[in-house]
Amino acid sequence: MDLGIKGKRALVCASSKGLGLGCAEALAEAGVNLVMNARGAEALEASARDLRDRFGIDVVTVAADVTTPEGQAEVFRAAKGVDILVNNAGGPPPGMWTDWEREDFLSALNANMLTPIALMSALVPGMIEKGWGRVVNITSQSVKAPIAVLGLSNSARAGLTGYVAGTSRQVAQFGVNINNLLPGSHSTDRIAALDAGAAGNSGASVDEARAARQATIPAGRDGTRQEFGATCAFMCSQFAGYMVGQNILLDGGNVNATI
């Protein structure tokens, strides 16, 4: 399927690995030129090289922490005038409600709410000027159904979701569509770290912790970064122009809800 976005430019934050890389890969396959970002330069350059080689697109890399003002300034310089923005960053650590102090909340709010808002504030005006733009925020299934050990994530992502619900409706008239993409369990380094944490807490092995978690998912497995990326690319396509402020859940049926 031709997504109708060949030749456009996208910034994909936090994209050297995992879900961000899945999104970058699917956009590259659709012919979109990329600005890719991550903190670690080595994995970032390797992923950028791979996408250039496989898809013949232009890729600019920005090795920087997207959650800091300095990192954001570097990203904005490289990404000025992009047509598509995919917001992503690492997720907060798990814990108990009694573990978290004000500083932990500020850090989670900064990474998973205020950073994507800063990127939208900087880049959406350029999209409005052109009369076309797409923003996809990678959030979490925890927006629909809380994951108790991820209280910092539950809180910060709920804030971003509220912001998107209103803002998407203010910019839709200019051809700019802002939506959220909610991963359930996907097989990435992040989920491996969470399984290791669960194993440590329960005394089970990591394999046992993974199997116990996957047994609760109706699809019986984790999602792949390719499945996630393809959905993101559709949400960035010409065909998603009537999708406004939605929360698209990709969770193998894990959230047990009728709607």
Binding site for ligand NAP (CB under 6 A): 14-20, 37-40, 43, 65-67, 88-91, 138, 140, 183, 185-186, 188-191
DSSP symbol at 88 = -
Task: Give residue number: closest CB to ligand NAP.
Answer: 91
Q: Rounded CA gap, 206 and 222, in Å?
A: 15
CA distance 37 to 197: 27
Q: How far is the CB of 58 from ligand NAP (least distance, A)?
A: 20
* Crossing angle between the packed helical segments 102-109 and 151-171, to the nearest 10 degrees: 40
Could you tell me the smallest distance in angstroms from the CB atom of residue 126 to ligand NAP? 21
DSSP assignment string, 170-198: HHGGGTEEEEEEEE-SBSSHHHHHHHHHH
Judge contact between 97 and 152, C-beta under 8 A: no
CB of 94 to ligand NAP, least distance (A): 10
| Nearer CB in complex with ligand NAP: 139/177 | 139
Q: Which is nearer to ligand NAP, 154 or 171 (CB)?
A: 154
Q: Closest distance between ligand NAP and the C-beta of residue 43, in Å?
A: 6
Residue 208: Cβ within 10 Å count: 14
**Which lies closer to ligand NAP via its Cβ, residue 16 or residue 231?**
16
Instruction: Indicate the residue among 171 and 250 with the shorter CB distance to ligand NAP.
Output: 250
